[in-house]
Amino acid sequence: MSKVMAVFKRELGLYFRSPIAYGIAFALLFFIGVLFNAYISQANQQFPADSTYVPGLLTFLMFLVGPLLTMRLLAEERREGTLEVLMTLPMSEWHFIVGKFLAAWAYYTILLLITLVYHLILKQIGIPDDGAAFGAYLGAWLYGGAVLAVTMIWSAITEDQIVAAFLGAATVLVLYLAEIASTWVATQPGMSAASDFIREIGLQAHYGATLSRGIIRAEDIVYFILLMVGALFVTTRIVETRRWRA
Amino acid sequence: MIEVQNLTKRYGGFTAVDSISFEAHPGQVTGFLGPNGAGKTTTMRMLTGYMPPTSGKATVAGYDVFEQSMEVRKRIGYLLENVPLYRDMTPYSYLMYIAEIRGLDRRRQKVEEALDRVGMLGRANSQIRNLSKGMRQRVGIAQAILHNPDVLILDEPTIGLDPHQVLEVRDLVRELGRDHTLLFSTHILSEAEQVCDRVVIINHGHIIAQGTPAELRTELERGGRVLVRLHSPDGATQAVLDAIQAIPTVAAVEPSRDGVIATPINPEVDPRPDIARAVVQGGWDLIELRPLAVNLEEIFLELTRQSEAEETEGTASDAPDTLPEEEREEMA
């Protein structure tokens, strides 16, 4: 555990020393701020503002933010050769990768907590639905973790951070759009089981319809946790086999 | 203590390390000598648990490098060839990070001791990106000795340093060799001769000789060839060659750049007295008469030439284009 902590602390510190991480945070928060402003001015006149708007937006933007936050994690260590140093220390790959992942997730959590300010603004001007907001924020937190874990796989596969980011974004988009694909598949004769499967694999089926409306279901939480653990396991195996074949 | 038995590493069809066996003992510096791409780094990676061997067995401090990798890693200090470090850290924070991962206690004290030992205490808080190559090398060595390991493995510790830094690192290696089992690789022959208690010469994944530098020297001297140099303006004339060839203990002669190389009829016979007598009787001035292989460089060139000749006769299957990426880099 202390090994995970050592990796976690260094990695999280790196996010706070890296101009890129600040850039991502700035762009994300700025973008959300502008959209929130536009949304709230429109909502004010026509309909009650939705307290799940901001976390929903954040989960959508994760296809960009996730890969940018994780692309460096393993690709850089491998390119610089520092991975070989760590892999000859008495530490398992699993500890190393979990430490890195937790740092990325912690950084994302901090960004998520900053966006809570919009909920406070909503509280100032009206009576937002706190329950729905809680579910949506919890969902956005798990959703973000799952996206980070999945995009981290690409950072283990390629040494090139840009390639890792692009493939990560593509993977997350596929998972994001799975629900739309499933509705198309459902129109084909005899494909309803396949359609269900595709929908359940995707991210939106476990967020858009449930958590983002404040409906907290065990199966959705299990889905996100399984996705995280599964992706971290795959990443570990990739780092191991890379090393063995190197 | 490092014991290696029939260790082999294959990448696809390419054999990088082919059934090598050697030992390295505590309190000694063992030099791992070979040209680039000979399999030195691959062997070290197997010893440090970075990659598993294809076959064979290696133990470090009594633990199997594959079966008990974590135990081995606790007892080994490893300096990688181009010393990868985190450029955004300082030597102090980097070593603290390594110490934490290693799970050491009294970390601060150990980090300071290691930095002191490599003479980097004064730059402990500079960013690594601003350090010279020699200083980074020392930070790398500090990382390797941080936990006071039984076994130290240093991969080309003097590569890319200026002559002054090379001398410093060699002194450090010698000093560390006194209280550790130290294996270090180099492709510089004079370095191995100066620093090592034992030398293992590797080429194309095979060990072609091992022993103390003195043993290697006598082994090749017993091969028996001697160099004869004469003080004559036109070098080795046919008359000289004939005169030496006529000596009963000499099997063959050949002219060389420096003089004449004479091979005795068998390695146990020393033909030098007979040659001296023949030369003097012939009226020539003898200025040098010595066994041919006297330094490690000549031994090395001789041995690698021999092993190359054997390889071209035998199965020359190791086409360079089948080399994996990293080995190709090593050869470049």
Which pLDDT band, with edges at 50, 70 and 90, does B108 fall under?
Answer: very high
What confidence tens digit (pLDDT) does each residue in B47-76 have? Answer: 998 888 999 999 998 999 988 999 999 999
Q: Is the CB of residue A155 less than 8 Å from the CB of residue A147?
A: no
Q: For the residues B220-232, what does the mean pLDDT come to? A: 73
The nearest alpha carbon in chain A to B149 belongs to: A89
Res. A152: pLDDT tops 90: yes
Which pLDDT band, with edges at 50, 70 and 90, does B328 fall under?
Answer: very low
In chain A, which residues have their Cβ closer than 8 Å to the Cβ of B70? 90, 92
- The 10 Å Cβ neighbour count of residue B70 is 12
Identity of the residue numbered B155? D
Which residue has 């590493």 as its token pair? B9
Of the partner residues A85, A91, A243, the one whose CB lies closest to the CB of residue B51: A243
| pTM for this predicted structure | 0.82
The nearest alpha carbon in chain B to A95 belongs to: B101
CB contact under 8 A, B78 and A81: no
Question: Among A22-36, A47-61, B218-232, B314-328, where is mean pLDDT lowest?
Answer: B314-328
Which residue has 């510190």 as its token pair? A13
Q: What ipTM describes this predicted complex?
A: 0.89
Question: Among A80-84, A181-185, B149-153, B307-311, where is mean pLDDT lowest?
Answer: B307-311
How far out from the chain centre does Cα A49 lie?
Answer: 25
Which pLDDT band, with edges at 50, 70 and 90, does B37 fall under?
Answer: confident
Q: Is the CB of residue B91 less than 8 Å from the CB of residue B124?
A: yes
Handedness of CA B151, B156, B160, B165 (dihedral sign): positive
Q: Within a 13 Å sphere around the CA of B80, how many CA atoms are in the beta-carbon half?
A: 17
What confidence tens digit (pLDDT) does each residue in B119-144 have? Answer: 889 999 999 999 988 889 999 999 99
Report the SS3 class of residue B10.
Answer: strand
Residues of chain A whose C-beta is under 8 A from some C-beta in B? 2-3, 5-7, 10, 14, 17, 80-82, 84-92, 243-246
Q: Is the CB of residue B37 less than 8 Å from the CB of residue B327?
A: yes
